[in-house]
Structure 1
Amino acid sequence: MQTSKVSVIVPCYNQAQYLDESLASIYHQTHTNWECLIVNDGSLDHTEEIAQKWEAKDPRFIYIPKENSGVSNARNLGIEKASGEFILTLDADDKYEASFMEKALKILLERPEIGIVSSWGMFFTNDKMLQVFRSNAKSIADFLFHNGVNMGSSLYRKECWAKAGKYDGDVRNGYEDWEFYLRVCALGWKVHIIEEVLFFYRQHQVSRRKEMNKIDNENKKYIYLRNKDIYFNHYEELIDRFLWVADLEKTEINKFRNTIDYKLGSAILKPLRAVKWFCIKLFKK
């Protein structure tokens, strides 16, 4: 298995203070046949200094500077220059447990139907671990209305990236990871989630993820419209989801109406109604 090369892509934009910890998590991986392409997306801090330090320490680290154009374009550039047949994505402020690469690669080598491997993860801050987040995504049905992997970090075949058409570089796409996984699964590949905490997602007071949540509907609308053919081709999953939402909506309305928990009920119903609205609009066309 050590003969299989993994190319790790680390896009960086003004996160030099976390980059050492992120790159150290790659340096200590139990699978040793890797290269790590550090793509500096026009940072204004000392990202270049940190990246070049690691490049001097170990020739498997490769520094690539570029003008700022967003995380998707930075990833695409790194993958274009990658020499491995497997791609591991990692943001500059996150990190992997040392055995992730080895465990995920074993699955890809043994199961040709699997295109993407991820794991359970842990939110953390500089000084403490917060909470575990889990996923059980397996196929496209888990990506029609949300990111079934819950994050953008995973190991996948470079072939998936090439055939799915790379990451969408449009800055309007705030959920580029979800949309990429959607297109990969639409080509027939499956997803495998390792049921262990092997990934660590740094929680900031103000994070890109939180900012994206503020414009959630706009991001989802962009993905739906960009991938109309996928949604039409998977109408059976849409119908199943539509019927499930209708039943759940009815249950939740009865549960929360005229109770002190009505506001909570409304919060639960809002995303469900969004799915229902999308299904109705889609099938009217």
Structure 2
Amino acid sequence: MDKLVSIIIPCYNDASFIEQAIDSAFSQTYANKEIIVVDDGSNTETKNIIKSVQSKIDILITQQNKGVCIARNNAIERAKGEYILTLDADDFFEPSFLEKAVDILNKRSNVGMVTCYVNVITVKNNTSYVLKPSGTNDTEPLYYNNSMGSCLYRKSIWQEVEGYDENLKEGFEDWEFNIAISKKGWMVHVIAEILFNYRIKPTSRNQSAKNYQKKIRRYVFLKHSDIAETNFEKTLDFFLDEIEMLRRLIHAQQNTASFRIGHFFVKLGKPILSIFKKK
């Protein structure tokens, strides 16, 4: 019998997209699945949308707003599936993803997670580009995330790493989760097809998480300091490369015409301001 897949969809105020997310889960060509939606304290508009498609949902969990980590962990605790598919409420899968991803987990016991190429949609200006995760299985995830947050994995690896880290309230919990499973020796397989659609919104958690990058990265690097210390040279090169990239960006900005004109007027303004100060 085909293994049961539990599709986990946390939702917080995503009235514009939650129906498409649920439809993409419901429309997967892989039949043996259950859909679990977590209403994480959403507004009335979102609740009404969820209610309108409730016939497609197997389990609806309603809770006060506690964040995506707690929402996912609570849903996975109740999930009956041997495999877990995570899906954010503003994204959607192509219909064949689950069927293809399950086949890989069934055939390859060393693969713990399956992701794919991604169509990244920028909502603000309605543009898109293709992202191709690397899917490595060594220390790389500490330095560069190797998978999308929405992907298929074995429930056993979620149990093995004790779920999503609920301390990461500001975001990037998927990155830390991927580091944790890679440390356990699990491989991440990438399907070389665009089977997932990921939206970047001005209000996306990963966008707002950028405001907390120092805090989040410090926490993750300290939590996984064993990797950072064992691979000290790689860690050093990683941060030196970031410093060099920042230096080049600043240099490029300084060489733009707008910067030079602005700098000219700043210099011009100083003697003028000094005149007023004397008066």
SS in 1 for 2:16: helix
Q: Cα distance, 1:194 vs. partner? A: 1.0
Which residue of structure 2 lines up, in the alignment, with residue 87 of structure 1?
A: 84
Which residue of structure 2 lines up, in the alignment, with residue 75 of structure 1?
A: 72
Structure 1 Cα separation of the partners of residues 226 and 159 of structure 2: 19
Contact kept? 2:143, 2:238, Cα under 8 Å = no
Structure 2 Cα separation of the partners of residues 107 and 145 of structure 1: 26
Q: TM-score w.r.t. structure 1 length?
A: 0.80
| Aligned residue runs from structure 1 range 85-234, under 5 A | 85-124=82-121, 125=123, 128=126, 130-149=128-147, 151-172=148-169, 174-232=171-229
Which residue of structure 1 lines up, in the alignment, with residue 233 of structure 2?
A: 239
Structure 2 Cα separation of the partners of residues 109 and 84 of structure 1: 14
1:261 maps to a residue whose letter is A
1:20 and 2:14 equivalent?
no
| Aligned residue runs from structure 1 range 25-36, under 5 A | 25-36=24-35
Q: Cα distance, 1:122 vs. partner? A: 1.0
SS in 2 for 1:140: coil
**Larger Rg computed on CA atoms:** 2
| Aligned residue runs from structure 1 range 43-54, under 5 A | 43-54=42-53
User: Identity of aligned pairs, percent?
Assistant: 34
SS in 2 for 1:35: strand
Structure 1 Cα separation of the partners of residues 78 and 192 of structure 2: 31
| Structure 1: 4+ residue segments shifted above 4 A | 126-129, 243-246, 248-253
Contact kept? 2:8, 2:87, Cα under 8 Å = yes
Structure 1 Cα separation of the partners of residues 45 and 135 of structure 2: 37
Contact kept? 2:170, 2:209, Cα under 8 Å = no
Contact kept? 2:136, 2:187, Cα under 8 Å = yes
Change (3 A) 1:126 1:24: farther
Which residue of structure 2 lines up, in the alignment, with residue 282 of structure 1?
A: none
1:239 maps to a residue whose letter is E
Change (3 A) 1:215 1:85: same
Ranges in structure 1 where 5+ consecutive residues have no aligned partner: 265-285
Q: Cα distance, 1:263 vs. partner? A: 5.7
Q: TM-score w.r.t. structure 2 length?
A: 0.81
Change (3 A) 1:243 1:263: same
Contact kept? 2:124, 2:202, Cα under 8 Å = no
SS in 1 for 2:165: coil
Which residue of structure 1 lines up, in the alignment, with residue 268 of structure 2?
A: none
SS in 1 for 2:142: coil
Contact kept? 1:7, 1:36, Cα under 8 Å = yes
Which residue of structure 1 lines up, in the alignment, with residue 252 of structure 2?
A: 261
Q: Cα distance, 1:256 vs. partner? A: 5.8
SS in 2 for 1:242: helix
Aligned residues: 254
Contact kept? 1:122, 1:129, Cα under 8 Å = no
Contact kept? 1:89, 1:154, Cα under 8 Å = yes
Structure 1 Cα separation of the partners of residues 234 and 226 of structure 2: 18
Structure 2 Cα separation of the partners of residues 192 and 31 of structure 1: 19
